[in-house]
Amino acid sequence: MTSTTSSTELFSRAQQVIPSGVNSPVRAFGSVGGTPPFLTSAKGALLQDADGREYVDLVGSWGPMILGHANEQVVEAVREAAGRGLSFGAPQPGEVSLAEEVVSRIGPVEQLRLVNSGTEATMSALRVARAATGRDVIVKFAGCYHGHVDALLAEAGSGVATFAMPGSAGVTAATARDTVVLPYGDRDAVAALFAERGGEIAAVITEAAPANMGVVPPLEQDGIGFNRFLSETAHAAGALLISDEVLTGFRASRTGYYGVDGPHGTGTGTGTGTGTGTGTGTDAAWAPDLMTFGKVIGGGLPVGAFGGRKDLMGLLAPAGPVYQAGTLSGNPLATAAGLATLAGLDEAAYETLGSASRTLQQLVADAFTTAGVPHVIQRAGTLFSVFFREQPVETYEDAKAQDTDAFARFFHAMLEGGIYLPPSAFEAWFVSTAHTPEMLDRIAEVLPGAAAAAARG
Ligand code: PLP
């Protein structure tokens, strides 16, 4: 498609009628500066903007486009579904198939409900947890992002981190009082909080592997992973564990991050540095009580989901007392896109993804090392991010201590060279199965110059 309206013109028009010109804050390029390109089409790993420029995409719509853009099977499934009607507001076969696919892949999920975003998924999971326990307090970790749910915005990652916001205005004091924020990975802080207030805590919510302050994989201690520790600590106090896999689900591995560090996990591919991780997973049975999903299960259309133990999910209306609903939930186009995407994600697809991710990590490490840019690359399964500091990042405080100015210089040099990165130092980089060696070669050509720009402080 050719366009006669430039990104600059579009951004100026947008700013008149849309707050800051965008419908989600990070898109405004606020932390890196400049005008965001307005995108007009995408195919495979390539994006086209309104100015006629082409980019290799490393954002992937923040996760959903794991098979690349306009994947033929996914587009065909949506086209076919659209021909049968856009929305029924009544049960339809696709939602059953999508729930069956998730339940078959993710052990702890016995039942699943579909919603329209990750935010809705975490918000609903909190409501179920509070109803199940009759308690109010939610524990979250600094740097973890769970969508723009009132109770979960304190010290959140993603855009909240990008703009260095402590939380959000408009959240009531009562809501803030019911949320306790702890440093990620701090087992002593978790134990102390439970010792003091265990009887008030409804649930601990955590990203299965935090990826919204950059990727900060959970660490093992005495052979026990952080997620398992949280599950055991919460359960000992009658509280629940909610594992948020909106970002990691069906991306970190075929079975999400739970497939990496759960009881039957492979334990591989987690950790810092650029080599292959050597974790072993653990044999002891443990499971989150509730899990949340989004992004990949919608294949680019608006889908979220929450699921878990049958007794907990049975609390939902109409059988139970917890109200939760949605006009477009289980929408036939969205379930068609999600199903076609999951159908494309077989073992071979994860191998392609893993290989593209490892190659890219190595290219970045080589370019940064040559240019003398302090960096550390961290990963969780096939997901990774690059921090502009030398020391490993274990907490949000560590993540904030990186050189975001160097990132901004790097970002703009990459963009200029036709590589579209997340416009924030706190985000993961997203590869897809469409990141072929040719696409990686294009990135490799631009990296050395961009690394040199980052180094010119
Ligand atoms: N949870 C996590 C871990 C996320 O990464 C996100 C979005 O980035 C959300 C929840 C919110 O999802 P959505 O943007 O679909 O509301």
Distance 124 CA to ligand 1 centre (A): 13
Nearest residue to 341 via CA among 1, 60, 125: 60
DSSP structure string for 388-433: SSSSPP-SHHHHHTS-HHHHHHHHHHHHHTTEE--SSTTS-B---T
Q: Which atom of ligand 1 is nearest to the CA of 294?
A: 15
- Which entry of 150, 244, 261, 403 is annotated as an active-site residue? 244
The whole-chain average pLDDT of the chain stands at 94
What three-state secondary structure class fits 40?
A: strand
Cα end-to-end span (Å), the chain: 39
Picking from 157-166, 340-349, 432-441, which range would have the lowest pLDDT averaged per residue?
A: 157-166
Check residue 3 and give its pLDDT.
Answer: 53
Distance 371 CA to ligand 1 centre (A): 34
The answer to whether the bond into 318 is cis (omega within 30° of 0) is: yes
Q: State which of 247, 292, 424 you would mutate to test the pocket of ligand 1, scoring each by most atoms of that ligand within 8 A of its C-beta.
A: 247
What are the backbone dihedrals phi and psi of residue 344, each rounded to the nearest 5 degrees, phi first?
-80, -10
With bands split at pLDDT 50, 70 and 90, how would you rate the model's confidence at 424?
very high
Ligand 1 residue neighbourhood (C-beta within 6 Å) = 62, 117-119, 122, 145-147, 158, 207, 212, 244, 246-247, 294, 304
- Is 145 a residue of the active site? yes
With bands split at pLDDT 50, 70 and 90, how would you rate the model's confidence at 296?
very high
pLDDT (average), residues 137-164: 87
Check residue 4 and give its pLDDT.
Answer: 74
Q: Which atom of ligand 1 is nearest to the CA of 245?
A: 3
Tens of pLDDT, residues 262-290: 887 766 545 555 443 334 444 458 999 99
- Which entry of 184, 258, 295, 420 is annotated as an active-site residue? 295
DSSP structure string for 338-403: HHHHHHH--HHHHHHHHHHHHHHHHHHHHHHHHHT---EEEEETTEEEEESSSSPP-SHHHHHTS-
Task: Give, using CA atoms, the residue closest to atom 7 of ligand 1.
Answer: 147
What three-state secondary structure class fits 44?
A: strand
Entry pTM: 0.95
Check residue 272 and give its pLDDT.
Answer: 56
- Is 311 a residue of the active site? no
Tens of pLDDT, residues 340-389: 999 999 999 999 999 999 999 999 999 999 999 999 999 999 999 999 99
Check residue 307 and give its pLDDT.
Answer: 98
In this prediction, what percent of the chain has a pLDDT beyond 70?
Answer: 95
Check residue 271 and give its pLDDT.
Answer: 55
pLDDT (average), residues 196-222: 97
All domains in the chain, ordered by first residue: 7-70+347-455 (3.90.1150.10), 72-344 (3.40.640.10)
| Encoded tokens for 185 | 């990975």
Tens of pLDDT, residues 33-83: 999 999 999 999 999 999 999 999 999 999 999 999 999 999 999 999 999
Check residue 278 and give its pLDDT.
Answer: 37
